[in-house]
Amino acid sequence: MALKSPVDFAGSITSGQKDPCCFGVPGCNPRCVRYNKKSRTCRLVTRAISVDRPQLDFSNSDWKKQFQEDFDRRFSLPHLKDVIDVEPRPTTFSLKSRTPLENVNGSMQGSWNGYVNDDDRALLKVIKFASPTSAGADCIDPDCSWVEQWVHRAGPRKQIYFEPQYVKAGIVTCGGLCPGLNDVIRQIVLTLEKYGVKNIVGIQHGFRGFFEDHLAEVPLNRQVVQNINLAGGSFLGVSRGGTNISDIVDSIQARRLDMLFVLGGNGTHAGANLIHEECRKRKLKVSIVGVPKTIDNDILLMDKTFGFDTAVEAAQRAINSAYIEAHSAFHGIGLVKLMGRSSGFITMHASLSSGQVDICLIPEVPFTLDGPNGVLQHLEHLIETKGFALICVAEGAGQEHLQQSNATDASGNMILGDIGVHLHQKIKAHFKEIGVHSDVKYIDPTYMVRAVRANASDAILCTVLGQNAVHGAFAGFSGITTGICNTHNVYLPISEVIKSTRFVDPNSRMWHRCLTSTGQPDFH
């Protein structure tokens, strides 16, 4: 099956049965939208990512070669020289000098290995699964054959495609706030200066800053950004929407930008990719490089995005408060709602790290509220056996229990129903109905967890991502983003990372660990 775009497959499936359309499709995500309690069947809508690969005949001995050739084509990095004549020059970047190298004759010291070779690769997947039924298995063929999938290693190159003294670089932060934005801005500026770039500007309030006259460019240099990492938020401001691609590229030309660093999530990266494609159409020597930003950790192919660790850490304060409230009250129930529109990574990791959560509810795993296998029945059991309970729910979980609206926000995201308020009301009504006292405390720290300063782990990640973004731009790449795959820093084509949202795999070992930690049953 060669899918060309995200596709909905509708069907029904018995609870616990595997979805037959998912085999061999990375990122396939069955979602229950209507659960029948009597027949224990679930109306599914399966989101499958575009894999853009040829239909494979596994009986053909060359199928693996065919797959790898297609993979190499898709993950080849777009480069300026693909569309314009541009000659490289020796890099001005060196760790041995306090200032950018000048008058380099091209004979870099062979003994110093600080540069990354263009042919360096890292493996995208490193586990050889023995069976499709193995936890978290992601198989290409029915035999789960091992297939090497190599992606480009990130870092500084010996050859660059810009003259730093003539470069004008821009930085823009889009979407919502995220811990670490200022760390990335700061590191991009410092690395650009290390190359010898003197003209660096910030675009205010996301893509809106390209076409609103009152939002002037913000000149950036070491002195300006030196301490901005000590605060949360974005030094440049953020906003959603405003992606009129033609107008943005017109503005890029008018501003004479040579590089644009775009910090944002899936929607922002989709916009950045369109900007890159428009620049290619116009044959502009402009490098568009993304830096993946989301506390939801939902960007495809990457181990982790910056802001996620800090958000999980900040969520601990809310969970701890809810635990204290629940534990201190007679029949106390603590309910915490965390961010996660379609992916439950924050909720899962916060529940795991807390060790106090009894019920973890995420968008990827449907659940029932009523009935013998429902959440409310399990709450009764917890109150009877331990006297209190703690629930952690992602904002996108259980939307099938809420009335749906077709309203969208400025980024085009569906406006969700409030599962936290709904659960709060259902829990209170249920215990009142059965005549059992309950004391429910609801905590919603959603925006608090993203407004804080980056912790040490995220600050390091932001430093690495900011530096590699600059290295990628000077190497002549455009339409790329930088991230971590299996602990290695890599470059990926934006077109590949925006094909789907990254989801928690309910068959993964991490979700199994979460279930073991909470002790919760299957709510079907």
Cβ distance 24 to 67 under 8 Å?
Answer: no
SS3 state of residue 429: helix
Confidence of residue 51 (pLDDT cuts 50, 70, 90): very low
Q: What tokens appear for 107 in the block?
A: 């004979």
Kind and range of the H or E element at 156?
A: none
334 and 427 share a domain? yes
pLDDT grade for 34, boundaries at 50, 70 and 90:
very low
Q: DSSP character for 292?
A: E
Domain-located, residue 5:
no
The answer to whether the CB of 132 falls within 8 A of the CB of 144 is yes
Q: At what angle do helices 456-474 and 308-328 cross, to 10 degrees?
A: 160
pLDDT band for position 87 (50/70/90)?
very high
Q: What integer is the mean pLDDT of 169-182?
A: 95
Helix or strand holding residue 476 (H, E) = none
Is residue 208 marked as binding?
no
Q: Looking at the structure, do residues 327 and 458 belong to the same domain, yes or no?
A: no
pLDDT of residue 518: 96
**Above 90 in pLDDT, residue 403?**
no
Per the listing, tokens 């065919």 go with: 66
Non-local CB neighbours of 67 within 8 Å, separated by 6+ positions: 53, 54, 56, 140, 147
Is 510 labelled a binding residue? no
What's the pLDDT at 356? 95
What's the distance, CA 336 to chain centroid? 22
Identify whether the C-beta of residue 486 lies closer than 8 Å to the C-beta of residue 124.
yes
pLDDT band at 113 (very low <50, low <70, confident <90, very high): low
Find out whether 176 is annotated in a ligand binding site: yes
pLDDT over 70 at 192, yes or no: yes
Q: Per-residue pLDDT for 214 more than 80?
A: yes
Q: With 70 as the cut, is the pLDDT of residue 47 above it? A: no
Residue 221 in marked binding region: no
Regarding whether 219 and 73 lie in a shared domain, the answer is yes
Cα separation values, 392 from 131, 364, 400, Å: 33, 14, 18
Say which residue the tokens 């930085």 belong to: 171
Q: Please, which pLDDT band fits residue 416 given cuts at 50, 70 and 90?
A: confident
Taking only the tens place, the pLDDT of each residue in 332-352 is 999 999 999 899 999 999 999
User: Is 7 inside a domain boundary?
Assistant: no
pLDDT of residue 440: 96
Segment (H or E) for 220 = none
Query: Does the annotation flag 265 for ligand binding?
Result: yes
Query: In this structure, are 173 and 274 located in the same domain?
Result: yes
The whole-angstrom separation of Cα 480 and Cα 43 is 37
Q: Known binder of ligand: residue 339? A: yes
Mean per-residue pLDDT, 176-181: 94
Q: Does 241 belong to an annotated binding site?
A: yes
Element (H, E) at 264: strand 259-264
Position 41 scores a pLDDT of: 43
Q: Are 416 and 387 contained in the same domain?
A: yes
Give the CATH number of the domain where residue 476 resides.
3.40.50.450
Q: Does the pLDDT value for residue 44 go beyond 70? A: no
- pLDDT for position 15: 34
Give the domain range for residue 226: 64-97+118-127+147-304+454-485
Is 295 labelled a binding residue?
A: yes
Give me the half-sphere count of Cα atoms (radius 13 Å) on the Cβ side of residue 318.
27
362 is in an annotated binding site: no
Determine, yes or no, domain membership for 500: no
The per-residue pLDDT for range 220-248, each reduced to its tens digit, is: 999 999 999 999 999 999 998 776 899 99
Residues 162, 272: one domain? yes
Instruction: Tell whether 414 is in a known binding site.
Output: no
DSSP summary character for residue 79: B
Number of domains in the chain: 2
Sequence-ordered strand ranges (E) for 4-68 = 7-14, 29-36, 41-48
481 confidence band (pLDDT: 50, 70, 90): very high
Pair (220, 283) in one structural domain: yes
Residue 483 marked in a binding site: no
Find out whether 212 is annotated in a ligand binding site.
no
d(C-alpha 170, C-alpha 495), whole Å: 21
Q: Residue 400: which CATH number?
A: 3.40.50.460
Q: Confirm whether residue 395 is marked as ligand binding.
A: yes
Buried b (16+ CB within 10 A) or exposed e, 174-204: bbbbbbbbbbbbbbbbbbbbbbbbebbbbbb
Same domain, 249 and 344: no
Confidence category of residue 9, pLDDT binned at 50, 70, 90: very low
Annotated ligand binding at 195? The verdict is no
Question: Which is more confident, 470 or 12?
Answer: 470
Share the mean pLDDT of the chain.
87
* CA distance linking residue 287 with residue 261, whole number of Å: 8
Residue 156 and residue 237 in one domain = yes
Residue 457: pLDDT above 50? yes
Q: Which residues are catalytic?
A: 296
DSSP-derived secondary structure letter, 115: S
**Are 287 and 272 contacting, i.e. CB atoms less than 8 angstroms apart?**
no
Q: Is 501 within the bounds of a domain? A: no
Q: Note whether residue 470 is domain-resident.
A: yes
Position 358 confidence tier, pLDDT thresholds 50, 70, 90: very high
Is the residue at 390 inside a domain? yes
Residues 233 and 353 reside in one and the same domain: no
The verdict on 91 and 160 lying in the same domain is: yes
324 shares a domain with 233: no
Q: Is residue 24 part of a domain?
A: no
Per the domain annotation, does 102 fall within a domain? no
Judged against a pLDDT cut of 60, whether residue 31 lies above it is answered with no
